[in-house]
A and B are shown apart, each in its own frame.
Chain A
């Protein structure tokens, strides 16, 4: 049990590592995934820029109640979005939707913007459109309608309509929420997106490489190679080498991705992605992020989390006899990874919620949840330290249990052991 041989563990790590890194699937996923992600984020921006401007123009006919006739609605629309061209029409907004739709079909307008007199009392303005209208453009139109109502109100108070309209076109205000953390100030939305991306990478790594471990152990068992190995190495060495070797494969993959993203960003090749993000309301320019904290937290929780789940998966692999049994036994461990990921998604907009703080201290959830809370800057130092201590203690316990099960399990043949048998191995193993 004791006296682990470093040389032997290294030999096993080397085999596991080289065997998997040389595999063609490793190359495909490692280099294919970033290309795919960058393509997905760049292509839409590129396509819109090719189409000229941000998007194809929308030609709107404005159907307004007579009290709005002095407000320059087309100017207000253009102020929100250059692609919105419009004219006032003589249509009556009290006409039924069907009548308006029939008249729209006969014109060149892409859409009618109907602002009836109910809008002043909180009723909706209506956009009748022949084509789809993007979410972003809907918001722009909504803001323009609001400006229109404000202009009409001020005009009723005696201010000249032209001046009011002009004043309303001027400010294009955006709200940028900056998070004040211990290391500086950062954009909250950017942090949230970054947290989700990194937490997704963790989640994926834990699940994918967990399965790699289960299958690796199972293969050694079923091909009987384990009988040969066990005369040379301690089962603990075998398990340790496997977990570390496969963990290093995952780390290599992450490093390649990080370098790829870094190099592309350096050469400005990610500007397409930046455009896409800024269209979604995220401005990456002039950004200063606590890179060191984020990098250290990610790396630390990857290593600790990987060791935790991988030990459990190694025990699963040793306990089962075939793939089908593996599917069943896998589920409890998978759940420990899926649940915090789901929690992270539902909590990302309120990262300082109490329930999220509590969940992030639970050792099986902390690798994913504490990472989210650290990146979004809501985790106090004492919570981080507490979660780390609990996590390390849990890893120690899980590795001990997994080691015992693994030791007995890899020499077992045939059927899945019953729970009483597993308990007996734990006591005497």
Chain B
């Protein structure tokens, strides 16, 4: 299908006896911001390395822009690895040109593009500085420029926000959204589910080498099917029992707060509460967060337990 930027079909990869990824199906639509979620060691980096053809899958196929990944297609991907690095004793401009030329960009064009990006990031006057003379934050910017310089159709960002200060996190998020608006497909992996919830249109959650769920963020949250209603009020809570509402009731100072169990009509609850003459302070129908859904679905393979196990296995085994 033409609308898939990246498609993995039945992909498995193991290192020795350790399975890093097991029969993974994954489709990243063109132009989407796609989140690959999971705890450390769940198989995110291995998945990304297979998309980039750094590793070959044991089973299954990896397609990029509708074709088996090859050298030409690799040039249309920009990759920001989790472990970031630059040549310390090289000037910024030389470094950027080098990275872009490796992606097939002509040298003169690479120079022009580098300069205009450096201007945008307010590093124009540092083009001839050695990388080692820059602050950590500036190096992060240079690294990001190196990722997008060759105008990739697909951006793959592995844990892009880890280790960044809040200012740079905001800058990077802004740049990601800007690339998104320019039509670039963006795949990013993170163990910070909240980041994904904020940015992504679609997500795929993996834990312990297996996919737990995937789909658009709104579908995932809606399909969780257990919207929670929260009602805070002053007055006599006895109307609840009279109308057969069952939930978790807590005293909050002068007020009561009710978290309503699943399967109840929340609008009915609000109507009855007003009818009973209660003073309603707060009412909210809340979809579960991705984190809650993930914890629920992943079960024992969830964030903490399986995350730890998988991490130990992947760091112990050979890559």
> Which residues of A approach B to under 8 Å, CB–CB?
3, 5, 7-8, 11-12, 15, 19, 219-220, 223-233, 408, 411-412, 417, 421, 424-425
Contacts and interface: CB of A to CB of B under 8 A. Distances in A.
A228 B318 contact: no
A224 B104 CA distance: 22
Contact of A229 (B82, B102, B319): B102
Nearest to B98: A15
A285 B86 CA distance: 55
Given A11-B98, A11-B102, A232-B99, A421 B84 contact: no
Nearest to A237: B102
Interface in B71-121: 71, 74-75, 77, 79, 81-90, 94, 98-99, 101-104
A231 B81 CA distance: 9
Contact of B87 (A225, A232, A411): A225
A228 B99 contact: yes
Contacts of B52: 230-231
Given A19-B90, A224-B83, A232 B103 contact: yes
Nearest to B52: A231
B319 A227 contact: no
Nearest to A229: B102
A148 to B, nearest CB: 69
Contact of B88 (A223, A226, A233, A411): A223
26 contacts: A5-B71, A7-B101, A8-B102, A11-B102, A15-B90, A15-B98, A19-B87, A19-B89, A219-B88, A223-B85, A223-B86, A224-B81, A224-B83, A224-B84, A224-B85, A228-B84, A230-B54, A231-B52, A231-B74, A231-B77, A232-B102, A232-B103, A411-B319, A424-B16, A424-B318, A425-B318
Contacts of A224: 81, 83-85
B89 to A, nearest CB: 8
B49 to A, nearest CB: 8
B146 interface: yes
Q: How large is the interface on B (under 10, 10 to 19, 20 to 34, 35 or more residues)?
A: 20 to 34
A228 B98 contact: no
A425 B319 CA distance: 9
A268 B104 CA distance: 51
Closest 6 interchain pairs by CB?
Answer: A224-B85, A227-B81, A231-B79, A225-B85, A224-B83, A232-B102
A223 B87 contact: yes
A351 B74 CA distance: 55
Contacts of A219: 87-88
Contact of A412 (B77, B81, B319): B319
Contacts of A11: 98, 101-102
B187 to A, nearest CB: 13
B129 to A, nearest CB: 15
Contacts of A227: 81-85
A7 B82 CA distance: 27
Contact of B318 (A225, A230, A408): A408
B81 to A, nearest CB: 4
Interface in B42-69: 52, 54
A225 B86 contact: yes
A139 B101 CA distance: 67
Contacts of A228: 79, 81, 84-86, 99, 143, 146
B209 to A, nearest CB: 19
Contacts of B84: 224, 227-228
Contacts of A425: 318
